[in-house]
Amino acid sequence: MLTLEGMVEDIIFRNENNLYTVATLNTQDGKATIVGYIPFINIGETIRAEGEWIYHPSYGEQLEISNVSLVVPSTLNGIEKYLSSGLIPHIGPKTAKRIVEKFGLDSLDIIQYNPERLKEIDGIGDKKLKKIVEAFEEQGDLRNIMVFLQQYGITANYGMRIYKKYGKDTINIIKENPYRLSEDIFGIGFKTADKIAQNMGISLLSPYRIEGGIRFIINKYAGNGHSYVPKEELIQSTSELLGVENTLIEESIRDLAVKGVIHILNIEEDILVYYTPFHIAENNVSRKVVELSRVELKNFEIDIDKAIQTIEGKDGINFAKKQREAIKESIENGMVVITGGPGTGKTTTINAIIQIFEDQGLTVNLAAPTGRAAKRMTETTGKEAKTIHRLLEYSYMEEEMAFGLDEDNPLETDLLIIDEASMIDILLMNSLLKAIVPGTRLILVGDVDQLPSVGAGNVLEDIIKSGVVKVVKLDEIFRQAEESMIVVNAHRINKGEFPFLNEKGKDFYFIRENNPNGIVNTILDLCKERLPNYYGVDPLRDIQVLTPMKKGDVGINALNKHLQNILNPKAYGKVEKTIGDELYRVGDKVMQIKNNYTTEWEIIKDGTVYEKGEGVFNGDFGFIMDIDDDNRIMKILFDDEKEVEYNFNQLDELKLSYATTVHKSQGSEFPVVVMPIYWGPPMLLTRNLLYTAITRAKKLVVLVGEERYLRTMIANNRITKRYSSLDYKIRNILTIF
């Protein structure tokens, strides 16, 4: 075993995912290259590396390290380089030089043990001193923590998140209960936490482990849209996960209920286990739905029929019977649901309702669950629509999201219209209804036949099923819409009928390919050549590949790599960066895959900041503008105007999105949708998934694959049951009123 000691002169390569590092070490005997997995390393630091010499055919002799430790610099030059390396913010090269000139070899001891003396240096006052001391302490804490985490296989990216969450107490918290990581840190699952716990020698029968397993199962169900888990299913799933007796699991369920983490509800003969916030949200939503729908409204002094006729004459339209009904019910009821498929006149109906209310001098607000849906609502109504989060004036402090509008500070409006209501989960619906006072009219607009919300709950369908709220289903396809095979086929598919394919001059096509390679190659050709050349569409901005699945030959993981290679290939001068398994390249199309309420964005026009804001949301599409390897920053442009900077350790929030899942496309519209039709799990090859996919397209749908799987999807009307009790609770609340 050989030991080298020296100053880190250069970091040639570093994989941020596994921390494999190639660096140059300046020793007293000359320069040496070291390679290996190094948990913490910075230019300017002095380290001691232990290892064996190896010979690389391309790069020559290297020290393959097995152990590395930090050495406090012992020379004046070393101390100065260490302090001026940028490792400690607020100490630049000039300040570092002054400190070393003043305190010599005692400089680091002064900073650590007698920092007040730093005020003897010109330019260091109380404020700067405090920042230097905090940064110095943080470096020491962070280094110790990163070394501790590395031994359990936790990467630097996750290490930084863990440190940000727990701070100085990181090591103690993890030693006590490593299962907290799966609850608190995005990207660390139960299995990773369990592996860490086993490496630390924590018992398989530890209460922390069993409670962590129960939480994991409940969260897994919530991730699949369920508000609760039947108790027996929870016990069985947890037992399979942990390999422990049911009695221990039952005991932990009771303990979690006592702590208030979960809520156990008996409905008839069923025992339901809720994550407590979901239970509270369902209760609040059910009560508010009844209040809004049963409230006595102020008289609306208007001849509705005459108002409808006036709009018909002015706009040159003729409302269908159901449209007229929807308009009338929206005036006469406190809460109304308007549902219908494409081409049934939802937008025309909404615009008429808006006009009638505004003609009466009443205020109208519009909102939708996503930024894209809100933008589309703005375009179709000519009136500003906000995301629900923005409408409620969200803020994010100390890792907690709060809304400025709630029961104590309600929304001041006469009418609120929410579009794409099928996407609203139970937690967001709870926050929304808190801000609405009885007497404010609420209209939920959506297509109940589309996929339900990504988050927990089945809100729109449950409200409809409750029978408490007035529901109007628009079912007449307008003549203009009948010209579109997208619209016609969407309705045919929704009714279980096979679509019309490949009619000349139309907008719905099926290309037959019998194997995955043929499907992939056809999709690549369509995106790169055929569709741009024939229709004049932009392959990056206008075409969206949608697929039911993530894995497999026609899943998003494989398709994104293929599409990246042909639509944004490697080129001289085009910067790229590999983070984990993902290769990012300037010009790539990406998607935000989690809500981040604190991320700052800027709109820059003519070199000047025009607008600033916060928040990038799950499902937002953008393009990589720049990758700055030196500063470890990637710049993304969202919505063709919002510039956002991501640190490299945030990049697990982004995913290539040349292809995306149908679920992730909800609330979005694209000029062209291309979709592979091939074998997959039955739970994914469903009618409502196919229906949702094709209704995302505005101008053209191209399906590629085998007709038998298209027939399979249309025939598979099995909608996976969501565990939700909202409809039951609404009806139950009604009995009290």
Task: Tell which residue, 245, 279, 249, has the closest CA to residue 262.
Answer: 279
Question: Model pTM?
Answer: 0.78
**CA 328 remoteness from chain centre:** 38
Lowest mean pLDDT among 300-314, 389-403, 628-642: 389-403
With a cut of 70, say whether residue 137 has pLDDT above it.
yes
Asked if residue 121 lies in contact with residue 98, where contact means CB atoms within 8 angstroms, the answer is yes
Q: Where are the alpha helices (DSSP H) in 458-555?
A: 459-466, 479-482, 485-494, 516-525, 531-535
Q: Which has the higher per-residue pLDDT, 540 or 451?
A: 540
Res. 434 pLDDT band, cuts 50 70 90: very high
- pLDDT attached to residue 627: 92
With a cut of 90, say whether residue 119 has pLDDT above it.
no
What percentage of residues in the chain have a pLDDT greater than 70?
94
CA torsion 593-598-604-608 (nearest 10°) is -160
With a cut of 70, say whether residue 405 has pLDDT above it.
yes
- pLDDT attached to residue 295: 87
Task: Tell which residue, 327, 383, 379, 381, has the closest CA to residue 353.
Answer: 327
Average pLDDT taken over every residue of the chain: 88
| pLDDT tens column, 678-714 | 998 888 899 999 999 999 999 999 999 999 999 999 9
Res. 253 pLDDT band, cuts 50 70 90: very high
- Segment 356-361 shows an average pLDDT of 92
Using DSSP's 3-state secondary structure scheme, residue 193 falls into: helix
Cβ count within 10 A of residue 593: 16
- pLDDT attached to residue 600: 85
Asked if residue 405 lies in contact with residue 437, where contact means CB atoms within 8 angstroms, the answer is no
Best-predicted range by mean pLDDT among 3-12, 307-316, 426-435, 595-604?
A: 426-435
What percentage of residues in the chain have a pLDDT greater than 90?
50
Q: Determine the Cα–Cα distance for residues 416 and 532; give it in Å rounded to an integer.
A: 40
| pLDDT tens column, 495-511 | 999 999 988 878 999 99
With a cut of 60, say whether residue 126 has pLDDT above it.
yes
- pLDDT attached to residue 39: 66
Q: Which has the higher per-residue pLDDT, 676 or 56?
A: 676
Question: How wide is the angle at C-alpha 46 spanned by C-alphas 63 and 151, nearest 5°?
Answer: 65
Best-predicted range by mean pLDDT among 154-158, 167-171, 708-712?
A: 708-712
Cβ count within 10 A of residue 587: 17
- Segment 168-182 shows an average pLDDT of 88
- Segment 564-589 shows an average pLDDT of 91
| pLDDT tens column, 194-209 | 988 888 888 999 999 9
- pLDDT attached to residue 155: 65
Task: Tell which residue, 587, 589, 294, 324, has the closest CA to residue 466.
Answer: 294
**CA 436 remoteness from chain centre:** 27
Q: Which amino acid is at 593?
A: I
Res. 717 pLDDT band, cuts 50 70 90: confident
| Side-chain half-sphere CA neighbours of 670 within 13 A | 29
Q: How far apart, in Å, are the Cα atoms of 304 and each of 313, 330, 362, 429, 476?
A: 14, 11, 15, 30, 21
- pLDDT attached to residue 481: 64
Lowest mean pLDDT among 120-129, 315-324, 456-465: 120-129
| pLDDT tens column, 72-106 | 667 787 778 777 766 676 777 888 888 888 888 88
What distance, in Å, lies between the first and last C-alpha atoms of the chain? 80
